[in-house]
Amino acid sequence: MTLKSAVALGSFVCLAIYLFVTAPPPLPSQAAAQGESRALPVQNLFEAVNAINHAARSIYTGRVVGGGLKAGLSYGEDWAEPGVEKGPLPALFLRLAAARMEAKPPQLGLYLGSDAPINASNLFTGAQSEAFARVKATEAPVFSTTERGDQVGMYPDFASAGPCVTCHNEHPDSPRKDWVLNEVMGATTWTYPAARLGAGTYLDVTEAFYDAVAEAYQSYLDKAAGFADPVPVGPDWPGEGARVLPDLPTFMAEVRAKAGDPVMRALILTNGTEGGA
Amino acid sequence: MDLRRSAMLIALPVMALGAVGIWTESGERWFAHGPIQQGHENVACRDCHQPSPGTPRQQIQAKLQYVLGLRDDPADFGRTEVTSDQCLACHQRPNERHPVYRFREPRFIEALQEVPADTCLGCHSEHEAARVAADTRFCATCHGDLKLANDPVNIPHVTLISNEKWGTCLGCHDFHGNHAYEAPTHVQNLISEPAVQAYFGQGQSPYGPFKLFEAQTQ
């Protein structure tokens, strides 16, 4: 054996001893490093954020817009225009929350779409159109994976209140004028880049979506504070003879109370089995 | 002095310098592979290039295990990959006009082939002496069907679009919507495309110095 070979062999042996024989504990995997030994399917996350979205939307629609209309407040598409004294329509409130969510690190996406949307940019095409056909047929969520590997959860949006039907049937840009109550008008689509996630990430994402909803509602409060006759804000809800708006803590407490149970169930239960997965 | 000894005399200072570059903040600046953007002068290298978990030995070990198929996920050596998360830590704003993760929606899959807007780094490449690494006409990728109910501009948007005047968009609208800039209603008064191109380099903002939200400092 030449000197060069001996040196090379010795170096290799030393390296092997350094890396393997006297090796430190292995670097934890990314999931384990985040304390995520109990991984959840992404469907659980979609169930949770959809429950938060449903809670925020129904409370905003029923108690804020419904009560606000009785109190003489107005809501419209042009609510954000300068000088316009209105609040966002429920669908626009969702878009606000979605925009806030999509600017946050968790990479959770949310958007509304339909096969007959008022805004043409919300028209489902391609694979999304096919998924929506299944959502309409089954009236249940449909899960899929995009070409780039993102996870997609599509949930039906029902015409659950009379104003949904009236507004869409009367809107000049609506391609359909014959919507009926309880029909599937469109779908809320969620996207997330991983098929499974740990409990820590689950809590981070759901909390980020609560924050996004809060920021969307705060946008309306900021607008209402700038009206010629600013709308008083406090712990009360609007209604006949009560021209007020609930403050942010009041609104969010209601949303959390309504969404808390499904959010916790989706964290604890997997496929309906306690401690599953 | 023989060749081998000369090589060692050169190699040792280089290795020492390399170690300084890897392990000290001041040394890291020498090793940046290009200039940093305006406004990032006071950002430390480690604010974006964050230490990867584990000791160097564990990192090498994990990399070897990954290569040998004994580990599911790869490991970074030294520093983690820079992602949009580092950008959003300072630049997350409530008025964002184009939220970065909106572009993960399935409907944008084709558009992303043109403009990789689902990551900050798709347009903003650090160390390249440019604020924006894109041309000034990328709006065409998504806004070809834009129609405004009450168009305030003397030449309507629909006309500008049908004439493919995509170089005019950024003359009124900054992409992120964070400049305190009132869009003109006469096309003659819009910011010229060369001025926007200069801004995409390291030029001054043609939208004025005022921003609605300043970046957060870490």
Closest CA of chain A from B212, distance in Å: 15
Nearest by CB to A105, from B62, B88, B94: name it. Answer: B88
Q: Assess contact for A179 and A193: CB atoms under 8 A.
A: no
Domain tally for chain A?
1
- Quick one: A52 exposed, middle or buried, by C-beta within 10 A (0-12, 13-18, 19+)? buried
pLDDT top residue among B19 and B97: B97
Residue A22 in tokens: 């006297």
| B70-84 pLDDT per residue, tens | 887 888 888 888 989
Asked whether residue A276 carries a pLDDT value surpassing 70, the answer given is no
Question: How do strand A151-158 and strand A184-192 relate by DSSP bridges?
Answer: antiparallel
Q: Touching check for A204 and chain B: CB below 8 Å?
A: no
Which strand (E) or helix (H) includes residue B36? none
Q: Where are the domains of chain B?
A: 28-82, 95-124+134-218
C-beta atoms of A25 and B53 within 8 A: no
pLDDT top residue among A92 and B5: A92
C-beta atoms of B106 and A99 within 8 A: no
C-beta atoms of B88 and A128 within 8 A: no
Chain A CB contacts of B92 under 8 Å are 103-105
Residue A164, in any domain of the structure: yes
Contacts of B151 (CB under 8 A, 6+ apart): B157, B158
C-beta atoms of B96 and A99 within 8 A: yes
C-beta atoms of B105 and A109 within 8 A: yes
Distances (CA, A) of A190 to A140, A155, A195, A210, A277: 14, 8, 13, 15, 22
Residue A78 in tokens: 């042009």
C-beta atoms of A27 and B75 within 8 A: yes
Q: What is the mean pLDDT of residues A30-49?
A: 77
Nearest by CB to A23, from B61, B92, B107: name it. Answer: B61
Q: Which of A92, A115, A219, A239 is nearest to A175 (CA)?
A: A115
C-beta atoms of B53 and A120 within 8 A: no
Residue A207: other Cβ atoms inside 10 A: 13
Residue A266, in any domain of the structure: yes
Q: Touching check for B96 and chain A: CB below 8 Å?
A: yes
pLDDT score recorded for residue B127: 87
Mean pLDDT, chain B, rounded, equals 86
Q: Assess contact for A47 and A206: CB atoms under 8 A.
A: no
Residue A240, in any domain of the structure: no
pLDDT score recorded for residue A275: 43
Asked whether residue B115 carries a pLDDT value surpassing 80, the answer given is yes
Residue A145, in any domain of the structure: yes
Residue A115, in any domain of the structure: yes
Q: Assess contact for B28 and B21: CB atoms under 8 A.
A: yes
Closest CA of chain B from A209, distance in Å: 13
* A11-20, A65-74, B4-13, B174-183: the lowest-pLDDT one: A11-20
Nearest by CB to B61, from A26, A29, A127: name it. Answer: A26
Range of the domain at A220: 41-233+249-274
The phi and psi torsions of B39 (rounded to 5 degrees) equal 95, -15
Q: Assess contact for A195 and A41: CB atoms under 8 A.
A: yes
pLDDT top residue among B1 and A87: A87
The number of CA neighbours under 13 Å toward the Cβ of A208 is 21
Q: What pTM, to 2 d.p., does this model score?
A: 0.80
ipTM of the shown complex = 0.72
Name beta bridge partners: A145: A151
pLDDT top residue among B173 and B21: B173
Q: Touching check for B73 and chain A: CB below 8 Å?
A: yes
Asked whether residue A36 carries a pLDDT value surpassing 60, the answer given is no
Q: What is the mean pLDDT of residues A168-181?
A: 87
Distances (CA, A) of B44 to A1, B29, B32: 51, 9, 11
| B11-62 pLDDT per residue, tens | 888 888 777 666 666 667 777 778 888 888 888 888 888 888 888 888 888 8
Residue A26, in any domain of the structure: no
Asked whether residue A37 carries a pLDDT value surpassing 60, the answer given is no
| B204-218 pLDDT per residue, tens | 899 988 888 888 876
| A226-246 pLDDT per residue, tens | 999 999 999 999 999 999 999
pLDDT score recorded for residue B194: 93
pLDDT score recorded for residue A274: 46
